């Protein structure tokens, strides 16, 4: 009998959002709702499973783990890519790796949620109201602000559309961006230095790579206006986290809205949790029912195709 493990289903919804009963052969399906960060425990948990379905980059699959799972034949990740999987090690071990589609809209929406939460002090005012208070902070409107977008792909372009609706002045930068690409999104291309020096709100929409890792650090925070805010819904390591904590705690920048972190889940004693000028969310940019329905439906499709010997959405090294 084929054994299938579904990892890191924090909300215990995977079996409800797709037709797993349609899989041939009545496979044994086990859902794990908790996160296990220790590789020894992950290897022990997954021993004997033929197929593993994983949620984005919650549980990494380095070569050392793949070698410890001799029964593994198919690894299915949500999304079209997953940087936490060692694809070469999987190929060497004869493990097929495939992915799913998804939707960028939910992450762009969350970026705007973080922007509005910061500029209108929504968490602070909510807490005040819940404890019997009234107005406590003077917010700021967006219409006369400059939005700096780092990366104008699918996500960045969607964020730009909303910025245009708010009447913001939009500037953008990435390493390969052209004037035409920026103009098509309603923004003006500038160099990196100008973006960090002039933007009131900077939002990051890049894929994590060796080029983007540590892209925002001490020099960039030093260049930013003291009234500026940083939004990161992409990947934590794009921003130097220690430099960010220093910039926030010293008042070098006004605030940050963060959905992603170097270590996830974010440690309970992390310095970011103690700062009052940050809005934190637990990597929920893609955590929406419509997106999860796409993820799990296509995971079932991939598994069914694999079991039938049909083409699957293979991710290659």
What is the set of active-site residues?
Answer: 235, 264, 283
- Interior/surface letters 132-145, b for 16+ CB within 10 angstroms, e for the rest: eeeeeeeeeebeeb
**Helix/strand/coil for 66:** helix
Q: Which residue blocks in 99-178 are alpha helix, DSSP H?
A: 105-119, 122-130, 154-165
Q: Where would I find the beta strands (DSSP E) of 129-187?
A: 146-150, 169-173
Spatial distance between the Cα atoms of 126 and 83, rounded to a whole number of angstroms: 37
- Interior/surface letters 114-127, b for 16+ CB within 10 angstroms, e for the rest: bbbbbbbbbebbee
Spatial distance between the Cα atoms of 314 and 26, rounded to a whole number of angstroms: 24
Contact status, residue 49 vs residue 75, Cβ threshold 8 Å? no
Contacts of 276 (CB under 8 A, 6+ apart): 124
How far out from the chain centre does Cα 306 lie? 28
Contact status, residue 227 vs residue 215, Cβ threshold 8 Å? no
Phi, psi of 231 (to 5 degrees): -120, 130
* Residue that has been written with the tokens 């399906």 in this structure: 29
> What are the CA-CA distances from residue 78 to residues 32, 57, 59, 72 (Å)?
16, 9, 12, 17
Q: What is the CA radius of gyration of the chain?
A: 21
What is the tally of helices (H) and strands (E) in the chain? Answer: 11, 12
């Amino acid at each position: 009998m084929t054994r299938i493990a579904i990892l890191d289903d924090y909300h215990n919804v995977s079996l409800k959002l797709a037709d797993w009963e349609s899989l041939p052969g009545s496979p044994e399906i086990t859902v794990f709702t908790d996160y296990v960060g220790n590789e020894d425990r992950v290897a022990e948990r997954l021993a004997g499973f033929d197929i593993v379905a994983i949620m984005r980059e919650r549980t990494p699959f380095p070569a050392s783990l793949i070698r410890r799972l001799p029964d593994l034949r198919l690894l299915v990740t949500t999304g079209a890519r997953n940087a936490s999987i060692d694809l070469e090690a999987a190929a060497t071990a004869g493990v097929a790796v495939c992915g799913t589609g998804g939707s960028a809209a939910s992450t762009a929406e969350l970026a705007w949620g973080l922007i509005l939460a910061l500029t209108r002090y929504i968490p602070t005012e909510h807490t005040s109201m819940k404890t019997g208070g009234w107005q406590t902070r003077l917010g700021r409107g967006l219409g006369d602000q400059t939005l700096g977008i780092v990366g104008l792909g699918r996500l960045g372009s969607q964020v730009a559309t909303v910025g245009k609706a708010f009447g913001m002045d939009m500037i953008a930068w990435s390493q390969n961006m052209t004037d035409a690409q920026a103009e098509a999104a309603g923004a003006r291309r500038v160099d990196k230095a100008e973006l960090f020096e002039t933007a009131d709100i900077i939002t990051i929409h890049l894929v994590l790579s060796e080029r983007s890792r540590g892209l925002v650090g001490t020099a960039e925070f030093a260049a930013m206006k003291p009234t500026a805010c940083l939004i990161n819904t992409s990947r934590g390591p794009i921003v130097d986290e220690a430099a960010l904590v220093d910039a926030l705690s010293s008042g070098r920048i006004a605030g940050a809205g963060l959905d992603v972190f170097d270590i996830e889940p974010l440690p309970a004693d992390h310095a970011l949790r103690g700062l009052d000028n940050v809005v934190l969310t637990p990597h929920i940019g893609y955590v929406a029912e419509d997106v999860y329905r796409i993820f799990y439906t296509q995971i079932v499709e991939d598994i069914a195709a694999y079991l039938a010997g049909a083409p699957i959405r293979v991710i290659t090294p």
